[in-house]
């Protein structure tokens, strides 16, 4: 099948745009470089001849677009452009890696081979997935450009995601948020990271995306007026000091604004730090860049009062991805806090273009010392060579190394170590040495004895206390946050408990025998589902390791299934086939007519996910559990759903799941409160809940300290509308500072 005349015109136009981008970037040093790129283009064009994307465009436009991103938005060179143009040739056509090597070079063939393997990561069975991913990621230390081109490929696919069906959108956006976004951050590609996040939100939560986008646009005029007022005295000082600079107001990404609204449960109007002022200046040869940044900081704080606890010095100790800048929050006009970012042009290049700029400046200074990115690449390679139990463990462990927020802590001798935000003393112990982690029993944090599970904060000085008799416990896996700690603990447990599966199988058989329950496939599936195990070996292993207790096995198997299983009259999939049935198997009197509300061929069993506990009114997504065939219903914002969709995208239910209005049920929700304590306030709260709204409470836990109270209330509600109405009334009670639904992500 040949290209049409219209196709040829469009292809030529995009090719010429790529050529122009290469000229502007000056990546081609001679005619040989140009011929290298031309040959790649014509081979790719011929290989993809007649193939269309789902959007209807010629497929060759995709590799051209990836090459454009590589040149314009990342700043890579000729080999990367060639590999971008060829990245789908081996995967989608009859050309082989050997053909690419003969036609181009071994380096180009190796890059295309890596990109081809990367394409298989999320499209293969779990048993193959880890090996594919490991092989590709091993190229990080050798040629990180493979991963960067894959990020460019993902970015263009996300920009054209609108042509995909809903379940594919959920799968692709979940993969993107779960792995590609933190990977882009870790390589310093901030602009790409932010765009990927925004695109994920655009397709997963279009209504919220459009609303925030509109509000940003509506407030642009007033915001610009404030920025002009704020920056006027700063510009005057910088001009006085003859500093060459650019100053601008940068809006937070739509996704980051939405995340803050979700996390704090506040409105768009309540977010005060929606933008930041950025100063990028041309550094002089002397004094040091660091000194010049602090001089500008000093000038600004002569004008505006700084908020000391919001000072972020990433110049003295850069982030692990190479990011350098000085951030300060100051009190601006009209009582508004404003973040100011100070960086040199070099720092700004690295912040915007990540790895490419990092490598350029590294080579320009002829530095042979390992920097933070080099250290991270080496750490990743070591981790990838370590033992891995399964593909899923492998992906999870790799993701742990891509943490997006970090702290700096110190050894007793003053050596600095970067750790992920939220890390524990146990993570730090394993960071120092695996043996220290395996024998850790406690820690001295700032000379005060704390449990080994204590969380650590930036600036802490930590000494690990060990004992030869101590060893890792299975529950430590729930405490640690770093990949190294997770892998070290798993390796120890695996070595020490080789007989876990056999022992667990024996324990389960004995326990079932005590209750006169015959072990069969149905019983095992129910137990696996209850304990969220993917297979029998995982179940037996966790029982043998003591992770799963069988004390409540009898109750678990005999409990009323209706507490967890939601039949068709509570949740349904619009557009399915067949009629709904009630729990006796007869046609339900609550079912609508087949034209307005039809179920699947076989009545689905819907299970409310324990991780996020959605209630009617929440937007939900279905995940079909392969072990039980139940449809697990998650909130669309649930982090567990994102992980499952990234790893098992084929199990996402294609159709949109809706809440039915046919049956009144109660669902558990947890409310978090905080306020100023006074006599009778708890009575007022419970009166609104139980008397005014006739809502049953399951649990109430309120704590008082220094005249301030906070706590949690678990209660049963029918839907989000009732819950929101209740929260509005509680907010009116005297002394209540904040009340919000506790949400798991």
Residue 32 or 510, more confident: 32
pLDDT value for 589: 34
DSSP annotation string for 369-406: S--HHHHHHHHHHHHHTS--S-HHHHHHHHHHTT-S-E
Q: Considering the domain boundaries, does residue 439 fall inside one?
A: yes
Q: Considering the domain boundaries, does residue 170 fall inside one?
A: no
Same domain, 34 and 157: yes
Percent of the chain with pLDDT over 70: 82
Distance of CA 315 to the CA centre of its chain: 26
At 586, is the pLDDT very low, low, confident or very high (cuts 50, 70, 90)? very low
Most confident of 60-64, 108-112, 311-315, 505-509: 60-64
Residue 154 or 122, more confident: 154
Same domain, 511 and 487: no
- Residues 496-507, mean pLDDT to the nearest whole number: 78
Residue 19 or 317, more confident: 19
Looking at the structure of the chain, the number of domains it has is 6
Per-residue pLDDT at 403 exceeds 60: no
Residue 384 or 657, more confident: 657
- Residues 559-588, mean pLDDT to the nearest whole number: 42
Integer Cα distance of 238 and 229 in angstroms: 15
- Residues 260-283, mean pLDDT to the nearest whole number: 88
Per-residue pLDDT at 743 exceeds 80: no
DSSP classification of residue 474: G
- Residues 207-221, mean pLDDT to the nearest whole number: 93
Q: Considering the domain boundaries, does residue 671 fall inside one?
A: yes
Here the CATH number for the domain that contains residue 469 is 3.10.20.30
Q: Considering the domain boundaries, does residue 662 fall inside one?
A: no
Is 92 considered catalytic here?
yes
Residue 561 or 60, more confident: 60
At 3, is the pLDDT very low, low, confident or very high (cuts 50, 70, 90)? confident
Same domain, 417 and 446: yes
CA 142, 146, 151, 157: dihedral to nearest 10 degrees?
-170
pLDDT value for 158: 94
Per-residue pLDDT at 462 exceeds 90: yes
Same domain, 569 and 508: no
CB neighbourhood size of 669 (10 A): 25
- Residues 655-674, mean pLDDT to the nearest whole number: 78
Per-residue pLDDT at 582 exceeds 60: no
DSSP annotation string for 484-536: HHHHHHHHHHHHH-TTHHHHHHHHHHHHHHHTT----HHHHHHHHHHTT-SSH
Beta strand 337-344 with 275-281: parallel, antiparallel or unpaired? Answer: parallel
Provide Rg for the chain, Cα atoms.
Answer: 29
Q: Considering the domain boundaries, does residue 182 fall inside one?
A: no
Per-residue pLDDT at 532 exceeds 70: yes
Per-residue pLDDT at 593 exceeds 50: no
Same domain, 538 and 641: no
pLDDT value for 360: 61
Q: Considering the domain boundaries, does residue 290 fall inside one?
A: yes
- Contacts of residue 698, defined as CB under 8 A and 6 or more positions apart, other chains included, come to 668, 714, 715, 716
pLDDT value for 385: 54
Taking Cα atoms as reference points, which of 588, 647, 580 lies closest to residue 175?
647
Integer Cα distance of 673 and 738 in angstroms: 6
Mean predicted lDDT score pLDDT of the chain: 81
Same domain, 358 and 380: no
Boundary-marking domain end, from 337, 364, 391: 364
* Structure tokens that stand for 313 in this block: 């010095």
Cα-based angle 542, 547, 553 (whole degrees, multiple of 5): 85
Per-residue pLDDT at 733 exceeds 70: yes
Is 91 considered catalytic here?
yes
Asked if residue 516 lies in contact with residue 558, where contact means CB atoms within 8 angstroms, the answer is no
Same domain, 221 and 346: yes
CB neighbourhood size of 337 (10 A): 13
SS3 content of the chain, % helix, strand, coil (to 5): 50, 15, 35
Same domain, 543 and 676: no
- Residues 572-593, mean pLDDT to the nearest whole number: 40
- Residues 488-495, mean pLDDT to the nearest whole number: 83
pTM of the model: 0.71
Exposure string of 486-511, with b = 16+ CB inside 10 Å and e = fewer, is: bbbbbbbbeeebeebbebbbebbeeb
CB neighbourhood size of 103 (10 A): 14
Per-residue pLDDT at 713 exceeds 80: yes
Here the CATH number for the domain that contains residue 38 is 1.10.3210.10
Same domain, 308 and 262: yes
- Residues 380-390, mean pLDDT to the nearest whole number: 55
The answer to whether the bond into 287 is cis (omega within 30° of 0) is yes
pLDDT value for 744: 56
pLDDT value for 611: 84
pLDDT value for 379: 62
Percent of the chain with pLDDT over 90: 33
Same domain, 510 and 469: no
DSSP classification of residue 239: H
Picking from 341-350, 417-426, 530-539, which range would have the lowest pLDDT averaged per residue?
530-539
Same domain, 27 and 154: yes
pLDDT value for 221: 92
CB neighbourhood size of 231 (10 A): 19
Residues 533-573: tens digit of each pLDDT = 877 888 887 887 777 888 777 777 665 343 444 443 345 55
Q: Which domain holds residue 540?
A: 500-559
pLDDT value for 165: 86
Boundary-marking domain end, from 479, 496, 513: 496
Write down the catalytic residue from 91, 554, 665, 672: 91
pLDDT value for 330: 93
Here the CATH number for the domain that contains residue 685 is 3.30.70.260
CB neighbourhood size of 188 (10 A): 23
Asked if residue 330 lies in contact with residue 337, where contact means CB atoms within 8 angstroms, the answer is yes
Q: Considering the domain boundaries, does residue 446 fall inside one?
A: yes
| Helix ranges, 267-366 (H) | 289-303, 345-353, 355-364
Question: In residues, how long is the chain?
Answer: 745
Picking from 46-55, 239-248, 553-562, which range would have the lowest pLDDT averaged per residue?
553-562
Per-residue pLDDT at 594 exceeds 70: no
Picking from 70-84, 426-440, 542-556, 585-599, which range would have the lowest pLDDT averaged per residue?
585-599
Per-residue pLDDT at 640 exceeds 80: yes
Asked if residue 659 lies in contact with residue 720, where contact means CB atoms within 8 angstroms, the answer is no
pLDDT value for 664: 60
Per-residue pLDDT at 118 exceeds 60: yes
Per-residue pLDDT at 651 exceeds 50: yes
Residues 121-137: tens digit of each pLDDT = 544 444 344 454 555 55
Distance of CA 151 to the CA centre of its chain: 15
Per-residue pLDDT at 529 exceeds 90: no
Integer Cα distance of 623 and 608 in angstroms: 11
Boundary-marking domain end, from 364, 383, 411: 364
At 392, is the pLDDT very low, low, confident or very high (cuts 50, 70, 90)? low
Per-residue pLDDT at 24 exceeds 80: yes
Same domain, 477 and 508: no
Write down the catalytic residue from 17, 92, 554, 610: 92
Per-residue pLDDT at 369 exceeds 70: no
pLDDT value for 490: 84
* Structure tokens that stand for 74 in this block: 């990342």
Integer Cα distance of 573 and 603 in angstroms: 10
Q: Considering the domain boundaries, does residue 637 fall inside one?
A: yes
């Amino acid at each position: 099948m040949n290209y049409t005349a219209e196709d040829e015109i469009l292809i030529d136009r995009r090719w010429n745009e790529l050529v122009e981008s290469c000229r502007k970037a000056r990546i081609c040093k001679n005619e040989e470089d140009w011929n290298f790129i031309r040959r790649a283009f014509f081979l790719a064009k011929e290989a993809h001849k007649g193939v269309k994307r789902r959007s209807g465009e010629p497929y060759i436009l995709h590799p051209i677009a990836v090459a454009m991103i590589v040149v314009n938005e990342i700043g890579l060179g000729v080999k990367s452009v060639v590999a971008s143009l060829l990245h789908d040739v081996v995967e989608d056509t009859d050309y082989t890696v050997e053909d690419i090597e003969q036609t181009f070079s071994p380096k180009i063939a190796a890059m295309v081979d890596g990109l081809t393997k990367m394409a298989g990561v999320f499209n293969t069975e779990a048993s193959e997935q880890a090996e594919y991913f490991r092989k590709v990621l091993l190229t990080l230390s050798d040629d990180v450009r493979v991963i960067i081109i894959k990020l460019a490929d993902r970015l263009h696919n996300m920009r054209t995601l609108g042509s995909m069906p809903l379940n594919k959108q959920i799968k692709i956006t979940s993969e993107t948020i779960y792995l590609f976004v933190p990977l882009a951050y870790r390589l310093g590609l901030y602009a790409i990271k932010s765009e990927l996040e925004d695109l994920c939100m655009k397709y997963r939560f279009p209504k919220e995306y459009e609303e925030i986008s509109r509000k940003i646009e509506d407030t642009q005029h007033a915001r610009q007026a404030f920025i002009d007022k704020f920056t006027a005295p700063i510009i005057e000082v910088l001009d006085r000091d003859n500093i060459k600079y650019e100053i601008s107001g940068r809006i937070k990404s739509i996704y980051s604004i939405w995340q803050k609204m979700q996390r704090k449960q506040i409105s768009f109007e309540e977010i005060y730090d929606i933008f930041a002022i950025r100063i990028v200046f041309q550094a002089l040869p002397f004094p040091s860049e660091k000194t010049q940044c602090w001089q500008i900081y000093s000038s600004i704080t002569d004008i505006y009062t700084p908020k000391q606890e919001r000072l972020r010095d990433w110049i003295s100790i850069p982030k692990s991805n190479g990011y350098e800048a000085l951030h300060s929050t100051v009190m601006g006009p009209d009582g508004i806090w404003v973040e100011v970012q100070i960086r040199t042009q070099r720092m700004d290049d690295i912040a915007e273009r990540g790895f490419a700029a990092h490598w350029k400046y590294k080579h320009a200074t002829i530095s042979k010392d390992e920097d933070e990115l080099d250290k991270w690449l080496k750490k990743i390679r070591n981790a990838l060579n370590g033992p891995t139990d399964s593909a899923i463990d492998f992906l999870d462990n790799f993701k742990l190394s891509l943490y997006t927020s970090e702290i700096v802590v110190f050894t007793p001798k003053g050596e600095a170590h970067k750790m992920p935000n939220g890390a524990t003393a146990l993570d730090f112990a394993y960071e120092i040495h695996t043996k220290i982690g395996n024998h850790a029993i406690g820690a001295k944090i700032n000379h005060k004895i704390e449990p080994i599970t204590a969380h650590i904060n930036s600036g802490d000085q930590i000494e690990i206390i060990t004992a030869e008799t101590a060893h890792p416990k299975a529950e430590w896996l729930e405490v640690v946050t770093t990949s190294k700690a997770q892998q070290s603990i798993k390796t120890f447990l695996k070595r020490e408990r080789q007989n876990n599966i056999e022992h667990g199988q024996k324990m389960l058989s004995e326990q079932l025998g005590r209750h006169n329950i015959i072990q069969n496939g149905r019983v095992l599936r129910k137990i696996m589902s209850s304990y969220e195990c993917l297979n029998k070996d995982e179940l037996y292993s966790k029982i043998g390791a003591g992770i799963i207790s069988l004390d409540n096995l009898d109750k678990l198997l005999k409990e009323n299934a209706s507490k967890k299983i939601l039949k068709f009259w509570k949740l349904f999939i619009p557009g399915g086939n067949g009629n709904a049935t009630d729990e006796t198997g007869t046609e339900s009197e609550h079912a609508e007519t087949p034209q307005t509300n039809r179920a699947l061929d076989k009545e689905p069993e819907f299970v409310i996910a324990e991780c996020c506990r959605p209630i009617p009114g929440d937007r939900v997504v279905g995940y079909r559990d392969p072990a039980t065939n139940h449809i697990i219903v998650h909130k669309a914002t649930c982090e567990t759903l994102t992980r499952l969709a990234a790893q098992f995208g084929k199990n996402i239910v294609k159709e949109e799941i809706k809440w039915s209005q046919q049956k009144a049920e109660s669902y558990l929700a947890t409310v978090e409160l905080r306020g100023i304590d006074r006599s009778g306030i708890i009575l007022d709260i419970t009166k609104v809940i139980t008397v005014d709204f006739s809502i049953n409470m399951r649990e109430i836990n309120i704590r008082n300290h220094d005249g301030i109270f906070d706590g949690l209330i678990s209660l049963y509600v029918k839907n989000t509308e009732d819950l929101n109405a209740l929260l509005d009334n509680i907010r009116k009670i005297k002394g209540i500072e904040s009340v919000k639904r506790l949400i798991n992500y």
